[in-house]
Structure 1
Amino acid sequence: MLIHFAAALFAIMNPLGNLPVYIGATESARPGERKYVAVLLALFVLVMLLIFFWAGESILHFFGVKLSSFRIAGGILLLLGGIGMVHGKEGKKVTELADKVSEESDLRAAENLLQKILIPVGIPLFVGPGSISTVILFAGKTPSFLSKIGMSGVIVGMALILWILLMVSDRVGRLLGPMGLDIAARLMGLILAAIGVQFIIDGLSLEIVNFMN
């Protein structure tokens, strides 16, 4: 069960495939700033996934939100973010933000940058309908408290892997170069838009099935 959970979570989060998005969003940041952003983003993903693992179903039920509706909303966010990346708008916004915080400390600048890129990089790219539904689904399948502790450890491991990949993102950026980053970001934007459309279709399909039943 733990192996299946780890494989499913890694596949749905896709930290390697989503790395160009993070690189494009932080390309104008200073090295120290990027390190803080990597730590803060990994911690955010860790806390959010743990919260939804232990109390996700109750949270959605409290607000009267279905997973299908959450999937549609996340799909719309991904679609809009992907369109912005294809047109190069996200990079311009981040560049403008970097100019404003150039005189601030790395930590403060990282906090400002994180607020700017939290959507769509943090939500729904890493913590989205797919990862949330995955942790809720596996939590529901595991009544044993010890097994849930083990799965919580898997989530911690995933956050660690994400942090490591984000920390070496500047090296990947140097390897690709400005033109390579621009091409990768635009291609990833197209893929994100397609994933967003798929999320919307899946959410609508679930709603139709529920309505017919």
Structure 2
Amino acid sequence: MLNFKEIISVTLILFSVIDVIGSLPIIIDLRRKVGKIESEKATLASALLMILFLYVGESILKLFGVDVSSFAVAGALIIFLLGLEMILGRNIFKSEEHSTGAAHIVPIAFPLIAGAGTMTTILSLKAEYATANILVGILINLVLIYIVLKSSEWIEHRIGPGGTDILRKVFGIILLAIAIKLFKNNF
């Protein structure tokens, strides 16, 4: 049974963990590298990952002999490398021709949107909230993610190149801090 209060709580918790607004500099930086972000593919891949993890996440990790902490550390390493890219202005992830759409899955759908923090949070929410309410909270967040991805070019034009560069450096440092915190808490 759907509970409005639970849906709002789940939505807000996931929105703060996903932090799509905070990821804007990374998204803008990736769009510059690959030319275009396919918002639909990134959002659908994120949806698939989050919904799949909601229902079978713990089982999948157990199947591979991986615990949630190890999963979080792996995500932390990717986030750390993205932060380094942003601060140093060097490419660590290869910029390839992305005809398969893989650029929209890694690193946008995973680990930025549906990363270790999001997956761990989804597993934690299952202990407190009804699955249907978590699912609705995920869907609301996916709509917000799609809007941000779709409007990233418009946002970039509004803040300008200087603003984008400043945001990229600041959020690069924040990403490094988040990665270190994830690593420290799960190592």
Q: TM-score, normalised by structure 2?
A: 0.87
Q: Aligned in 2, Cα 1:148/1:117: closer, same or farther, shift over 3 Å?
A: closer
- How far apart, in 2, do the equivalents of 1:195 and 1:84 lie? 15
Q: Which residue of 2 aligns with 1:115?
A: 102
Identity of aligned residues (%): 26
Indicate conservation of the 8 Å contact 1:25/1:117, yes or no: no
Answer with 1 or 2: which has the greater Rg. Answer: 1
- Partner of 1:64, secondary structure, is coil
Amino acid across the alignment from 2:166: I
The whole-number CA distance in structure 2 between the counterparts of 1:163 and 1:125 is 13
Deviation at 1:29, TM superposition (A): 5.4
Q: Answer yes or no: is 1:67 the counterpart of 2:68.
A: yes
> What pairs up with 1:32-181 in 2 under 5 angstroms?
33-34=36-37, 37-90=38-91, 94=95, 97=96, 111-112=99-100, 114-116=101-103, 118-142=105-129, 147-181=130-164
1:128-174 deviation line (CA, Å, top 9, x unaligned): 111001111222434xxxx3223212211111110011111111110
Shift of 1:117: 5.3
Q: How many residues align?
A: 182
Cα deviation for residue 49 of structure 1 reads 0.3
Partner residue in 2 for 1:207:
none
- Note the residue ranges of structure 1 that are not aligned, 5 or more in a row: 102-108, 205-213
- Cα distance between partner residues in 2 of 1:87 and 1:172: 23
Judge conservation of contact 2:25–2:171 (CA < 8 Å) in 1.
yes
Once the 2 structures are TM-superposed, how far is the Cα of residue 86 of structure 1 from its aligned partner? 0.9
Give the CA deviation at 1:118.
Answer: 3.5
RMSD: 2.1
Choose between structure 1 and 2: higher helix proportion: 1
> Secondary structure at the residue paired with 2:22?
helix
Name structure 2 gaps, 5 residues minimum: 1-5
